[in-house]
Amino acid sequence: MSNQQIKFYQTGTLTVGNRLLDKAQRSVQATPDRSNSLDSGHRACQGCGEALGARFAIDAAMRATGNKLIAANATGCLEVFTTPYPESAWRIPWIHSLFGNAPAVATGVAAALKAKGKTDVRVIAQGGDGGTTDIGFGCLSGMFDRNDDVLYICYDNQAYMNTGVQRSSATPPGARTATTMPVGPEPGNDMGTGKFLPVIAMAHGIPYVATASVHDLHDLEHKVTKAMGMRGSRYIQILVPCPLGWGLATHETIKAARLAVECGLWPLFEAENGQITNARKIRRGIPVTEYLKIQKRFAHLMKKGAEERVGMIQAIADENIRKFGLTVHGA
Amino acid sequence: MLKQMDGSLAVARAVALCRPEVIGAYPITPQTHIVEGIGEMVKAGELENCEFINVESEFAALGVCIGASATGARTYTATASQGLLYMAEAVYNASGLGLPIVMTIGNRSIGAPINIWNDHTDAMSMRDAGWIQLYVETNQKAVDVHIQAFRLAELLSCPVMVCMDGFILTHAYERIDVPEQEQVDRFLPSFEPVQALDPDSPMSIGAMVGPEAFTEVRYLAHHKQLRALELIPAINEEFKNIFGRDSGGLIKTYRAEDAETIVVAMGSVIGTIKDVVDELREEGVKIGVLAIRSFRPFPASCLREALRDAKRIIVIEKSFALGMGGIVSTNLRTALGNSTTPICSVVAGLGGRAITRRSLHNLFRKARKDELRGTYFLDLDCAVVKRELAREREKRRSGSTAENILKDVGVVDAANPF
Ligand SMILES: Cc1ncc(C[n+]2csc(CCOP(=O)(O)OP(=O)(O)O)c2C)c(N)n1
Ligand code: SF4
């Protein structure tokens, strides 16, 4: 799949047209023979960005591998809403072991395939941001360090959603979660905290690291496809807004993801062997307040007296724009 | 072939003969030499199609085994002590998923205070995790039982721990009869998983299960353990036929037929106990030994049968449940039901303290005079304990217990500790 950026935006709706592209350029989801690896009927909340991201990512990986794919899943929303026994929404061989060991389990799967000479079958590990940046971080770093042949996908909804929206180390500064309530003079998640795992992944020098977002599914599919064309450890972190945890209207998942990218808080880029190779320029720069104000988790920052904190968040976005070279198109 | 080697290398050889396909390796004393040994063999190309993976923690080591086993590979790892606790969550998971992983435990105590020497606290902490737990008395048995363990694990689709005493066995050089590859191949067919991750026939492994099925799932895991009660002796019989040695089974008795006193224990201490029993038999004392080789499943009916005529049972155990007492004896008491035979629970050898023949002689003398009651701590230095208790009473900030005791027993110069 090429990385031709789709230019057919309908002004105002913020949706992207796919139909006007050449057939070869259309997304995997636009084809009737897509694998539907994550089947309908699972129990995600309405408007769940994680369900959407996973379906697009895994279908793209299936296409790229000729349907020869095995997935290891960390504990979290994606695991719980897809496999309430005896149902399973997965049409691919899939294993869930624990919250913190998905990378190790995937390494084991890859090692077994190698030992058996089944080099055509490929492996994906997946988990939420908590399973990835916190409890599974050691296993993930180990997997990167050994350069095991696994694509790890982190569905980043910026908190522990499955247990009721608690803070993870990917929760953005200022956000309200169940463990960072807006109480007292410095409300929400502490400023200056959190990890941006994509750059930590890059520091391991692995073949491929990318960020993606569910608002640009064409780009997301492209990155997954590209990753599956490589061997060794690869890492993609996808921003997947969570209506429940973010306090978003269920139809605003895609919009929230787009605004996160457009304001600079979620830089879209690719890196190979530790070096950034491509960063997606922002199309229409917007202030962070546009993004913050549609989410209840930032409602306390929209009140009088919180201007300084909003300013700090704007500074983070500005720094991303500078650091990753996201300068607004034409600016 | 007879060879002089240490227990760890002997186990490494035995595991290699079982043709493992994936090994997760992480060091912890005293099991390090096992994975080092296998790693070297893999590097030297002595094992075909084997992936040796140096992981970043024990938690990952078992994670790797879980993934590999679920993909249909024969998998192995080894650990001990803190390492076993560090992988605890995965230990339960591996058995819950029914994955036939084999893991050696080089038994070692658990800190704090940190202590690298042998006792059984580590394996006992996982006794209810759904793994089969086999204890070995010698390095030859360690070799043989590992080969049996793969067979058992794969027949049942259940993980198996082979527990061997750290240092006492792992680091002891002995003459070992290393089986021939053809013999092992005859005994151990290739691994046929009951469930496997396979794109040609996809399945979900590790789904979420609620109250409607959890009890049944657990019951079936228990049922597997009960089936192992039959399989363990049967596999040992088959092993005997091919290799000519009796190394496994559920229990093993020695001079116990007419014994009034039977000493029950697990692992390498059996050797010392046998020597003492031989000495006491010379004096006409009717005493015998019973080695528990399978602690999980617990061979209740075998034990009832073997201990039926005993007048007195002494359990020597290298671990205990704090706030409760001996673990093996508690299990044994349950197994014997309403039998009135007195059972003395003797906690011994903690943190590597030697269990000497002299201590055992004293102990058995006391037992014969019916002077042992409840839980007895072999060679406990009561004066030291009293002194520390007094210190705690006198001073609110009395300091670290372990360091105080080291000063009291004179390991550290009390006046000049550094
Ligand atoms: C060792 C352990 N600690 C805690 C939990 C409880 N737990 C399950 S899922 C989860 C949070 C998952 O958050 P994340 O990884 O961000 O995924 P999300 O649900 O947001 O998709 C937690 C804390 C657990 N299952 N295991
Ligand atoms: S809580 Fe959020 S991430 Fe979880 S299923 Fe609902 S919308 Fe999706």
* CB spacing of B202 vs A92 below 8 angstroms: yes
Q: How far is the CA of A131 from the centre of ligand 1 (A)?
A: 6
pLDDT higher than 70, residue B152: yes
> Which B residues, 236 through 295, put their C-beta within 8 Å of a C-beta on chain A?
none
Residue B407's SS3 state is helix
Classify residue B105 by its DSSP letter.
E
Q: Read off the pLDDT of residues B58-112 as tens digits, 9 standing for 90 and up.
A: 999 999 999 999 999 999 999 999 999 999 999 999 999 999 999 999 999 999 9
* Pair A202, A208: CB distance under 8 Å: no
* CB spacing of A108 vs B209 below 8 angstroms: no
CA atoms of A82 and A90, how far apart (whole Å):
7
The pLDDT value given to residue B248: 96
Mutate to test the pocket of ligand 2, among A79, A81, A177 (most ligand atoms within 8 A of CB): A81
Which of ligand 2's atoms lies nearest the C-alpha of A45? 6
Nearest Cα neighbor of A235 from A194, A197, A265 is: A197
| pLDDT, average across residues A299-314 | 96
Which of ligand 2's atoms lies nearest the C-alpha of A47? 7
The beta-carbon contacts of B283-287 under 8 Å, at least 24 apart in sequence, are B285/B261, B285/B364, B285/B368, B286/B258, B286/B259, B286/B260, B286/B261, B287/B255, B287/B259, B287/B260, B287/B261, B287/B262, B287/B263, B287/B364
The pLDDT value given to residue A6: 65
Amino acid at site A148: D
Which of ligand 1's atoms lies nearest the C-alpha of A74? 15
Classify residue B303 by its DSSP letter.
H
Amino acid at site A234: R
The pLDDT value given to residue A16: 60
pLDDT higher than 80, residue A17: no
Which of ligand 1's atoms lies nearest the C-alpha of A159? 16
Q: With b meaning 16 or more CB within 10 Å and e meaning fewer, what string describes B33-67?
A: bbbebbbebbeeeebeebbbbbbbbbbbbbbbbbb
* Pair B146, B18: CB distance under 8 Å: yes
Q: Give residues with Cβ within 8 angstroms of A183, minimum separation 6.
A: none
CA atoms of A92 and B203, how far apart (whole Å):
7
* Pair A49, A253: CB distance under 8 Å: yes
* CB spacing of B206 vs A95 below 8 angstroms: yes
The pLDDT value given to residue A11: 53
Q: Indicate which ligand has the atom closest to the C-alpha of A159.
A: 1
Pairing of strands B251-254, B22-25: unpaired
Q: Which residues of B touch A108 (CB under 8 A)?
A: 22, 24, 53, 63-71, 73, 75
Q: How far is the CA of A45 from the centre of ligand 2 (A)?
A: 5
Closest residue to A100, CB basis, from B53, B59, B69: B59
3-state secondary structure chain A: CCCCCCCCECCCCCCECCCCCCHHHCCHHHCCCCCCCECCCCCCCCCCHHHHHHHHHHHHHHHHHCCCEEEEECCCHHHHHHCECCCCCECCCEEECCCCCHHHHHHHHHHHHHHCCCCCCEEEEEEEHHHHHHHCHHHHHHHHHHCCCCEEEEEECCCECCCCCECCCCCCCCCCECCECCCCCCCCCCCCCCCCHHHHHHHCCCCEEEEEECCCHHHHHHHHHHHHCCCCCEEEEEECCCHHHHCCCHHHHHHHHHHHHHCCCCCCEEEECCEEEEECCCCCCCCHHHHHCCCHHHHHHHCCCCHHHHHHHHHHHHHHHHHCCCCCCCC
The pLDDT value given to residue B124: 98
The token pair at A13 is 């709706």
* CB spacing of B64 vs A141 below 8 angstroms: no
Q: Which residues of B touch A85 (CB under 8 A)?
A: 207-210, 213
CA atoms of B273 and B100, how far apart (whole Å):
33
How far does the CA of residue B201 sit from the closest CA of chain A (Å)? 7
Pocket of ligand 1 (CB under 6 A): A 50, 75-78, 99-100, 127-131, 155, 157, 160-163, 168; B 89
CA atoms of A305 and B238, how far apart (whole Å):
80
Q: Read off the pLDDT of residues B182-229 as tens digits, 9 standing for 90 and up.
A: 999 999 999 999 999 999 999 999 999 999 999 999 999 999 999 999
Q: Which residues of B touch A94 (CB under 8 A)?
A: 197, 202-205
3-state secondary structure B9-23: HHHHHHHHHCCCCEE
Q: With b meaning 16 or more CB within 10 Å and e meaning fewer, what string describes B131-154?
A: bbbbbbbbbbbbbbbbbbbbbbbb
How far does the CA of residue B206 sit from the closest CA of chain A (Å)? 5
Q: Which residue of B has its CA nearest to A93?
A: B202
Pocket of ligand 2 (CB under 6 A): A 44-45, 48, 50, 77, 81, 157, 161, 242-245
> Which B residues, 65 through 104, put their C-beta within 8 Å of a C-beta on chain A?
65-73, 75, 89-90, 93, 97
- How many interface pairs between A and B have CB atoms less than 8 angstroms apart? 170
Nearest Cα neighbor of A94 from A112, A69, A61, A118 is: A69
**How far is Cα of residue B389 from the mean position of the Cα atoms in its chain?**
33
CA atoms of A114 and A116, how far apart (whole Å):
5
Strand partners, A235: A152, A209
Phi/psi for B254 (5° steps) reads -140, 120
Burial of B299 (0-12, 13-18, 19+ CB in 10 A): buried
Taking CA atoms only, the protein residue closest to ligand 2 atom 2 is A242
Share of chain B above pLDDT 70, in %: 99
Nearest Cα neighbor of A247 from A191, A202, A294 is: A294
CA atoms of A92 and A70, how far apart (whole Å):
6
Identify the residue among B49, B197, B215 best suited for mutation to test binding to A, counting A beta carbons within 10 A and taking the highest.
Answer: B197
**How far is Cα of residue A93 from the mean position of the Cα atoms in its chain?**
22
Classify residue B415 by its DSSP letter.
S
Amino acid at site B188: L
Tell me how crowded residue A259 is: count the other CB atoms within 10 A of its CB.
Answer: 23
The pLDDT value given to residue B373: 82
Taking CA atoms only, the protein residue closest to ligand 2 atom 3 is A242
How far does the CA of residue B395 sit from the closest CA of chain A (Å)? 40
| CA angle, A228 then A230 then A232, to 5° | 105
CA atoms of A146 and B55, how far apart (whole Å):
8
Mutate to test the pocket of ligand 1, among A153, A163, A168 (most ligand atoms within 8 A of CB): A163
Q: Give residues with Cβ within 8 angstroms of A321, minimum separation 6.
A: A264, A267, A282, A285, A327
Taking CA atoms only, the protein residue closest to ligand 1 atom 5 is A99
The pLDDT value given to residue B230: 98
* CB spacing of B203 vs A113 below 8 angstroms: no
* CB spacing of A104 vs B69 below 8 angstroms: no
Tell me how crowded residue B244 is: count the other CB atoms within 10 A of its CB.
Answer: 9
pLDDT higher than 80, residue A328: no
Q: Which residues of A touch B49 (CB under 8 A)?
A: 115-117
Closest residue to B51, CB basis, from A103, A114, A142: A114
The pLDDT value given to residue A7: 62
Indicate the pLDDT class of residue A12, thresholds 50, 70 and 90: low
pLDDT higher than 90, residue B259: yes
* Pair A116, B191: CB distance under 8 Å: no
> What is the residue-averaged pLDDT of chain B?
96
Closest residue to B59, CB basis, from A68, A101, A145: A101
Pairing of strands A208-213, A269-272: antiparallel
Classify residue B284 by its DSSP letter.
T
Q: What is the ipTM of this complex?
A: 0.95
Q: CA dihedral defined by B324, B326, B329, B334, rounded to 10 degrees?
A: 20
Q: Read off the pLDDT of residues A165-207 as tens digits, 9 standing for 90 and up.
A: 999 999 999 999 999 999 987 789 999 999 999 999 999 999 9
